[in-house]
Amino acid sequence: MSYQSRGMPSNMVNPINETMDIKDPSLVWQQSGQYLPDSGIQSGGSTQTHSITTKEDDMERDRLLFDLDQGFPQSFPQEQVDGMNQHLGQTCGENLDDEVEMPAQFNVNSAANVQNMTGPSQMLKYAVVNLINYQDNAELATWAIPELIKLLNDEDQVVVSQAAVMVYQLSNREAALHAIINSPQMIATLVKSISNSNDLETTIGAVGTLRNLSNHRHGLLAIFKSGGIPALVKLMSSPVVSILRDAVITIHNLLLHQDGSKMAVRVAGGLQKMISLLTFKSNSHSITVKFLTIITDCLHILACGNQESKLIILAAQGHVELVRIMRSFNYEKLLWLTCRVLKVLSVCSRNKPAIVEAGGMQALAMHLQHDSQQLVYNVLWTLRNLSDAGTKVDGLEQLLQSLVAALGHSNINIVTCAAGILSNLTCNNQRNKLTVYQFGGVEALVRAIMNAEDNEEITKPAVCALRHITSGHAEVENSQNSFCRTGGIQVIAKLLQPSSHWPLIKAVIGLIKNIAQCKATHGLLREHNAIHNLAGLLMRAFQDLQNHSNTSVKPEEVRMEEVIECVTGTLHILAKESQSRSIMRSQQGFMSVLIQLLFNNFENIRRLAADTLNELAADKEGADMIEAEGGTASLNELLHCGNEALATCAAAILSRVSEHKLQKCLSMELTSSLFSEDQNLWPSGDLGIAPDLQGMTRYP
């Protein structure tokens, strides 16, 4: 039996159906409060993620065929499949949402319909016709259900097929649908039909009914309890699009709203079937994209929070197909949902490099200019997750340019992601550093920091990106000058405050260290108190190191040894100028900390502390402070350490201290000697002055 209209007598036409002209299927869906929420996949809504399945959609029984690598477990006669192919060209609409004419009435005069139904079955037939055409009577529907169950279990396949079609059409009526939901035996019979039947019409009717049931929470529970998920998963290999569509939508609804469905789908092999369906292609582009939209949402649900599912997707090359979809389609919802799957996979350490290798970053970058801010944000978030694995990837110029532009976006979430991606992609990649600089990245990053104020989710990655761009490429000097011209020093100097967290402070210190390589910047650093704050941070970091030396706790997950090493190295560069040394000496306790760092467990810290003391010892005041803090004893001890470079540096400091001390002693001796010689030039007592004038030389 077919779903084509059979010419209903005029006296049996439902007047309600005559006046109903629904242009938007989602409106039909939303009219009844008992239906589950609209997913927006077909209607365009954006509030919830659920498959749209309207009554009008359910009447749209298109017969599209396609070939899959995996065969359908049931052996449908070839003539049936050929008939479906022929029907495809006659009745298939442009897309899943197009209205396809379906009979709302059942023709009782057709001999084909009633030839096997006599006696009580004939009475059932008329009852069903009444329900379908113009009655929605719960009592009548309840009476019909047991009889239909008998027919579905009949040995005659024609009777079974007719019964399956009647049950499907009944399921389009509210009262009858609830009667079916409340009959576990009927649902079990439907599940059995889709599992065992070789008849195409029976399968279409049964799975269509299950799809209708899945629009209700009680229906979902009934399908789940009847073991419907394994049967539905098998139908995902069907070559008939109407069967495939209804099976996928039903599973989608189960995954969204029925507890236990995720595990059941995984156990039944549904994840592998869905991955194979990512290659689905119909003659209708609209059908293709909307079908793939539902499949990708199912994959997202199954992969989210489940590592095993992520690895199954990887093993089945699902990531490759997802990247292909991002390259090949422009349907917004499909792109958004595909991107969400990639975002979930991008946090998996094994999927991440595979997605990058498959060209995922370039494919995602294609959509950064999309009008949908939601899509752009998901693309950026996915790129942020992938970017630490993409530092060696070439050909990202388009992406880098888009990211620099995104730094000026009004949405702070977009700016946050853009800054994080730039931070990762410019790490140890000279080409990317140069590209970002050439696209105006230095100025854009400085402006982003200024606009972010105290938002460290933006300032930290932005400072890290600037630290990368201001070193290690052919235009380093120009990038440093660009940073200074845009007021960068003034901006980052404000971040060296006690209120800033250690991760940000560490990044700022590294940036200042790069900038300090250019002597022209030292004056600006002094002017904006950067050197004063750096000296204070060294003492603060040393104190934190002392406080946590006996515990495994690290302040804000930052190793204080790394902060101390970075700030000491920066101060060593700045200490080459006397004005900067003066600022450092003015910090009480600063010299003492440097001397104590000479015995730190890390060799680099010991060496940098010694180098900084050596610079500070260039001034008499610095040498005196080193000696006053007991530094000479510590330095003498280092002379006998096993590190030749450190011992040499200690000797140089002692030499400078001794030199200043010797000069001081020589100066004192010379002064004393001169004073003695002056006294010997004059007679004792009166200094050679006449007695009458001596009183005039005395002070009052």
pLDDT in tens, 236-270: 999 999 999 999 999 999 999 999 999 999 999 99
pLDDT at 97: 41
pLDDT at 379: 98
- Cα separation of 308 and 312, whole Å? 6
* Number of H-type helices and E-type strands within the chain: 41, 0
Secondary structure of residue 98 in the 3-state scheme:
coil
List, for residues 465-518, the tens digit of each pLDDT value. Answer: 999 999 999 999 999 999 999 999 999 999 998 889 999 999 999 999 999 999
| HSE (side-chain half, CA atoms, 13 Å) at 89 | 4
Tokens of residue 416, six digits: 């946050």
Look-up of token digits 């009004």: 410
Q: Is residue 33 very low, low, confident or very high in pLDDT (cuts 50, 70, 90)?
A: very low
pLDDT at 175: 82
- Cα separation of 298 and 304, whole Å? 10
Tokens of residue 473, six digits: 């490429």
**pLDDT (mean) for 658-685:** 56
Domain locations along the chain: 69-268, 283-368, 487-670
Tokens of residue 91, six digits: 């009745």
Q: Is residue 124 very low, low, confident or very high in pLDDT (cuts 50, 70, 90)?
A: low
Secondary structure of residue 240 in the 3-state scheme:
strand
* CB-count exposure of residue 559 (10 Å: 0-12, 13-18, 19+): middle
List, for residues 643-656, the tens digit of each pLDDT value. Answer: 888 999 999 999 88
List, for residues 88-121, the tens digit of each pLDDT value. Answer: 334 433 334 432 233 333 333 433 443 444 444 5
CATH code at 487-670: 1.25.10.10
CA angle 467, 468, 469 (to 5 degrees): 95
**pLDDT (mean) for 198-214:** 95
Secondary structure of residue 566 in the 3-state scheme:
helix
Which CATH number is 69-268's, of 2.40.110.10, 1.25.10.10, 1.10.10.10, 3.40.50.1360?
Answer: 1.25.10.10
pLDDT at 44: 40
DSSP-assigned states of every residue in 596-657 = HHTT-SSHHHHHHHHHHHHHHTTSHHHHHHHHHTTHHHHHHHHTTSS-HHHHHHHHHHHHHH
CA 544 to mean position of chain CA atoms: 34
DSSP-assigned states of every residue in 376-425 = HHHHHHHHHHHHTT-TT----HHHHHHHHHHTT-S-HHHHHHHHHHHHHH
* CB-CB contact of 271 with 302 (8 Å): yes
DSSP letter (8 states) at residue 72: P
Residue 678 has pLDDT above 70, yes or no: no
List, for residues 408-455, the tens digit of each pLDDT value. Answer: 999 999 999 999 999 999 999 999 999 999 999 999 999 999 999 889
Average pLDDT over the chain, rounded to whole?
80
**pLDDT (mean) for 149-159:** 92
pLDDT at 657: 84
The domains spanning 69-268 and 487-670 adopt the same CATH topology? yes
Q: What count of other Cβ atoms lies within 10 Å of the Cβ of residue 77?
A: 11
* CB-CB contact of 295 with 278 (8 Å): yes
What percentage of the chain exceeds 90 in pLDDT?
63
- Cα separation of 274 and 276, whole Å? 5
* CB-count exposure of residue 287 (10 Å: 0-12, 13-18, 19+): buried
Q: Is residue 174 very low, low, confident or very high in pLDDT (cuts 50, 70, 90)?
A: confident
List, for residues 362-380, the tens digit of each pLDDT value. Answer: 999 999 999 999 999 999 9
